[in-house]
Amino acid sequence: MNDQKNMILAIALSVAILVLFETFFNTSSVPPEQAQQQAQQAGQPQATPGAPANGVTPQAPAVPGSAPVSSDVMIEQSRKAALASVDRVRIDAPRLHGSISLKGGILDDLTLIDYHKTVDQTSPEIVLLSPRGAVDAYFAGYGWTGAEGVALPGLDTEWTTDSKTLTADSPVTLTWDNGQGLIFKRTFSIDRNYMFKVEQTVENNSGEAKTLYPYGLLSRYGTPETTGFYILHEGLLGVFDGQLKEVDYDDLKEEKAGISGESTGGWIGITDKYWLATLIPNQSEKVQTRFLHRKEGVVDVFQTDFLGSPILIPAGGSASSETHMFAGAKEVHLLDRYSEQLGIANFDLAIDFGWFYFLTKPIFLALLWLHGYVGNLGVSILLLTVAIKLVFFPLANKSYTSMSKMKKLQPDMVKLRERYSEDKVKLNQEMMALYKREKVNPASGCLPILVQIPVFFALYKVLFVTIEMRHAPFFGWINDLSAPDPTNLFTLFGLIDWMPPDFMHLGVWPLIMGGSMYLQQKLNPQPADPIQAKIFLFMPLFFMFLLAKFPAGLVIYWAWNNTLSILQQWVIMRRMGIKGKQALS
- Same domain for 457 and 543, yes or no, is yes
The pLDDT assigned to 448 comes to 61
In a domain, 49, yes or no: no
The pLDDT assigned to 503 comes to 74
- Same domain for 367 and 311, yes or no, is no
Q: Which helix (H) or strand (E) holds 125?
A: strand 125-129
CA 514 to chain centroid, in Å, comes to: 29
Do residues 363 and 319 lie in contact, with contact meaning Cβ atoms separated by under 8 Å?
no
CA distances from 543 to 304, 439, 506, 550 (A): 42, 33, 11, 11
> Phi and psi (nearest 5°) for 188?
-105, 135
Do residues 130 and 110 lie in contact, with contact meaning Cβ atoms separated by under 8 Å?
no
Which of 220, 264, 202 is CA-nearest to residue 65?
A: 220
- 3-state SS of 338-373 is HHHHHCCCCHHHHCCCCCCHHHHHHHHHHHHHHHHH
Sequence-separated (6 or more) residues with CB below 8 Å from residue 72: none
The pLDDT assigned to 171 comes to 97
Q: How does strand 138-145 pair with strand 210-221?
A: antiparallel
Residue 405, classed as helix, strand or coil, is helix
Do residues 450 and 10 lie in contact, with contact meaning Cβ atoms separated by under 8 Å?
yes
Sequence-separated (6 or more) residues with CB below 8 Å from residue 356: 454, 457, 458, 461
Q: How does strand 267-271 pair with strand 172-177?
A: unpaired
Do residues 260 and 289 lie in contact, with contact meaning Cβ atoms separated by under 8 Å?
yes
The domain boundary residue, chosen from 334, 352, 370: 352
- Same domain for 336 and 375, yes or no, is no
The pLDDT assigned to 287 comes to 93
Which of 449, 503, 462, 400 is CA-nearest to residue 15?
A: 449
- The number of domains in the chain is 2
In a domain, 332, yes or no: yes
- Same domain for 337 and 399, yes or no, is no
In a domain, 34, yes or no: no
Cβ count near 390 (within 10 Å): 11
CA-only gyration radius of the chain, Å: 30
- Same domain for 145 and 271, yes or no, is yes
Q: How does strand 138-145 pair with strand 243-248?
A: unpaired
- Same domain for 338 and 386, yes or no, is no
- Same domain for 219 and 304, yes or no, is yes
The separation between the first and the last C-alpha atoms of the chain, rounded to the nearest angstrom, is 14
The domain boundary residue, chosen from 352, 376, 397: 352
Do residues 50 and 39 lie in contact, with contact meaning Cβ atoms separated by under 8 Å?
yes
Tell me the whole-structure pTM to 2 decimals: 0.79
104: left (phi over 0), alpha (psi -120 to 50) or beta: left
Do residues 233 and 271 lie in contact, with contact meaning Cβ atoms separated by under 8 Å?
yes
Sequence-separated (6 or more) residues with CB below 8 Å from residue 511: 489, 544
Cα distance between residue 445 and residue 449, in whole Å:
8
In a domain, 188, yes or no: yes
- Same domain for 260 and 329, yes or no, is yes
Domain that holds residue 538: 361-584
Cα distance between residue 82 and residue 134, in whole Å:
6
The pLDDT assigned to 87 comes to 95
In a domain, 308, yes or no: yes
The domain boundary residue, chosen from 321, 352, 383: 352
In a domain, 534, yes or no: yes
CB half-sphere exposure, 36, CA atoms < 13 A: 13
The pLDDT assigned to 359 comes to 85
Which of 119, 117, 116, 115 is CA-nearest to residue 474?
A: 119
- Same domain for 347 and 441, yes or no, is no
The pLDDT assigned to 456 comes to 73
In a domain, 387, yes or no: yes
Do residues 291 and 304 lie in contact, with contact meaning Cβ atoms separated by under 8 Å?
yes
The pLDDT assigned to 133 comes to 84
Per-residue pLDDT of the chain (585 residues; tens, 9 = 90+): 444 444 444 444 444 444 444 433 343 333 333 333 333 333 333 443 333 333 333 434 454 454 444 343 445 678 888 899 999 999 999 999 999 999 999 999 999 999 999 888 889 999 999 998 888 899 999 999 987 889 999 888 999 999 999 999 999 999 999 999 999 999 999 999 999 999 999 999 988 999 999 999 999 999 888 777 777 889 999 999 989 999 999 999 998 888 999 999 999 999 999 999 999 999 999 999 999 999 888 899 999 999 999 999 999 999 999 999 999 999 999 999 999 999 999 999 999 887 778 888 898 899 989 998 998 988 998 998 888 888 877 777 777 777 777 767 777 777 777 787 777 788 888 778 877 777 776 666 566 667 667 877 887 788 788 888 888 888 889 988 888 988 888 887 777 877 777 777 888 999 999 898 888 877 766 665 667 667 777 788 888 888 888 888 888 988 998 898 888 778 777 776 665 555 455
Q: What is the CATH number of the domain that holds 257?
A: 2.70.98.90
- Same domain for 516 and 395, yes or no, is yes
In a domain, 547, yes or no: yes
- Same domain for 327 and 448, yes or no, is no
> Phi and psi (nearest 5°) for 478?
-85, 100
The pLDDT assigned to 52 comes to 36
- Same domain for 159 and 294, yes or no, is yes
The pLDDT assigned to 199 comes to 97
> Phi and psi (nearest 5°) for 111?
-130, 150
